Amino acid sequence: MHDEPSSFVIKESWPVPGEGTFTSILKKRAETDPEHPFLVWDGGRLTIGELHEASNRMANALLALGLRKGDVVGLMLDQHAEHVITLYALAKIGLVRTSINVHSKGDYLSLLIGDAQPRAIIAETAYRELLETAMDKTPVEFAIWNETEQGSGTHRLQDLLRNGDPALPSELADPDDVLVINYTSGTTGAPKKFTRSDRVLQIGCIGCLLIGEMEPNDVLLFWEPLYHGAGSQTVLAACMEKVTLAMVPRFSASQFWDQARRTGTTKTHYIGGILPILLKQPARPDDKVHKVSVAWGAGCPADVLAEFEERFGCRVNEGYGLSEVANYVCINIGGPKGSVGRPLPWFMVRTIDGEGNDVPPGQAGEIIAKGKRPEFTSRSLNKQKTTTADGWIKTGDLGRFDENGYLFFEGRKSDSLRRRGENVSAWEVERIVVQHPAVEECALIGVPSGLGAGDDDLKIFLKLVPSASLEELELIKWCEDKMPYFQIPRYIGFIDEFPKTPTQRVKKAELSRSTSDCWDLEQSGYALRR
């Protein structure tokens, strides 16, 4: 077992997780440095003092509506300052946020709303029709829309921001109050559902500050969607250090470095296949002309890491984590290249064999992790076979420790899928596709995307109903109305019979990973709607 950190320097100026809350952290920042630019974007800026006051106004307005600590609030908002203010407003008064991917629709959206059971929804009017369809099945008491004109019988986000009391709310979250419900896609069943407390979110944020080597006056190129765990965590981490988030609408490989130069970016984050995608851009004479000193994230192969550092002239700090704990559990700062680092001070990490025994250094085993105290980790809201009797989380990933306690990621043991930074549940996709009248049975697997370890393209196998026929593009268009674009398979293959276990489970390991024996969406020329 490896539970001792390497020489991580946790600054005295950073909060000790649990000694305060995000409310007290933001309040202190607003009192000592109110004019510091917290968030900047094309045409605007939000200071730390303005963020504190605006989130107070909104928090008090939500309390005035009748919402109370512990109520669930679903967010389906785009990338803008009001979304950031909303995140802090909910955190201040202990409203439990569940962020909804803005590409959600159809059965997927209904399933999420039905499970989360939010008392309120805060969303863009662009998603109103989709949400109201979902809310027909799961009634929601308060719907708050981001709209410029007053609608009949509706609440407006702008009114909450304008009319709420600017004073600190009288009802505030405590360190171990739940602030977030996260869903992380299951591999063979329904999505896994976890809560995170204020304390756990703080631990995750300090992990970000450490792996990013954050210093006062750093500027972070902020491209991550705010509905994504990495995006919301970065926003919360930014109030713990005197940094500025330079927000752009979305990730753009062609504009990335120009955006970094224009905003004076000094640090940036990556997920999934971002670094390989940037490396595929045409080389430019000014590839090293920027201020970025560190890129931090996870899922970067060692050869890609070395090529990226050489071409763009910045360090890459790799880490390893999982939603079920507190995101990062290991980080690598100055350790051997290719390693995901050593455990952070709050966690224990082991590698075990099939019998649950620890494996020796140099030998691969399944990675399991655990907080040193129960309040240091997320709490599962559904029964998972991936948690041992004594609380260890079985990740389904393979890894090996070297003699110095550095962990090296060795691939997946489980059937989990990850596509361009988004977790994909095979079960979620399969349960929708099998509803097509021509499909009798289906199975989804991941195949190499060419973007490095930890990034998959999706291949689905279809067994059709006897005498039925189905064109591949017909299925794709059918899926577009029922699931977000990132769940739609790229490859489609047909099969007469699936290999099965004696208990009739599909033996996915025996399905072909080849991409030359099936239909390819990208080669079809069809552009998915988003």
**pLDDT, tens digit, 9 for 90 and up, residues 45-76:** 999 999 999 999 999 999 999 999 999 999 99
Compute the half-sphere exposure of residue 528: CA atoms within 13 Å on the CB side of its CA. Answer: 21
Average pLDDT over residues 500-524: 83
Task: Please name the amino acid found at residue 229.
Answer: G
Q: Which residue has the higher pLDDT, 333 or 413?
A: 333
pLDDT value for 452 = 67
The average pLDDT across 318-336 equals 88
* Domains along the chain with CATH numbers: 48-173 (3.40.50.980), 219-412 (3.40.50.12780), 417-524 (3.30.300.30)
What's the pLDDT at 501? 60
- For 387, the token pair is 């948690």
CB 169 within 8 A of CB 93: yes
Count of alpha carbons within 13 angstroms of residue 437, beta-carbon side: 2
Which range, 103-107, 182-186, 253-257, 453-457, is most confident?
253-257
State the pLDDT confidence band at 325, using cuts at 50, 70 and 90.
Answer: confident
pLDDT band at 160 (very low <50, low <70, confident <90, very high): very high
Predicted pLDDT of residue 5:
47
CA dist., res. 299 & res. 320, Å (int):
8
Least confident range from 55-59, 328-332, 446-450, 491-495: namely 446-450
Sorting pLDDT into bands at 50, 70 and 90, what band is 235? very high
Q: Look up tokens 């990132």; give the residue.
A: 486
> What would the two tokens of residue 68 be?
């109370």
Rounded to whole angstroms, the Cα distance separating 365 from 358 reads 8
CA of 270: how far to CAs of 294, 382, 421, in Å?
11, 30, 9
Does residue 368 register a pLDDT over 70? yes
- Pair of tokens at residue 322: 């999982």
In sequence order, the 6+-apart residues with CB closer than 8 A to the CB of 262 are none
Write down the pLDDT at residue 188: 45
Identify the helix (H) or strand (E) that includes residue 194.
Answer: strand 192-197
Residue 290's pLDDT is: 98
Compute the average pLDDT of residues 499-508.
70
**Token pair recorded at residue 151:** 């609608």
Whether pLDDT at 149 is above 90: no
- What is residue 1's predicted lDDT score, i.e. its pLDDT? 63
> What mean pLDDT comes out for the span 307-329?
90
* CA 227/CA 242 separation, integer angstroms: 23
Is the confidence at residue 229, as pLDDT, over 50?
yes
Distance, in Å, from the CA atom of 188 to the CA atom of 373, rounded to the nearest integer, reads 29
Contact 204, 217 (CB under 8 A): no
CB neighbours (10 Å) of residue 390? 6
pLDDT value of residue 113: 94
pLDDT in tens, 68-105: 999 999 999 999 999 999 999 999 999 999 999 998 99
Side-chain-facing half-sphere of 384: CA atoms under 13 Å: 25
Mean pLDDT of 233-255: 95
Report the residue count for the chain: 530
Q: Rounded to an integer, what distance in angstroms lies between the CA atom of residue 226 and that of residue 83?
A: 8
| pLDDT digits 0-9 by tens, 518-528 | 999 999 999 88
Average pLDDT over residues 345-366: 93
**pLDDT > 70: percent of the chain:** 92
Average pLDDT over residues 494-522: 84
Residue range 432-456: average pLDDT?
A: 84
Rg for the chain, CA atoms, rounded: 23
Average confidence (pLDDT) over 427-449: 87
Residue 154 reports pLDDT greater than 80? no
DSSP labels, 9-35: ---TTSPPTTTS-HHHHHHHHHHH-TT
% of the chain surpassing 90 pLDDT = 64
> Average pLDDT for residues 283-300, to the nearest whole number?
94
**DSSP summary character for residue 93:** T
What is the mean predicted confidence (pLDDT) over 241-270? 95
Lowest mean pLDDT among 153-167, 231-245, 276-290, 387-401: 387-401
Burial of 121 (0-12, 13-18, 19+ CB in 10 A): buried
Average pLDDT in the 251-273 region? 92
pLDDT digits (tens, 9 = 90+) for 374-412: 888 877 665 554 677 788 888 888 899 999 999 998 876
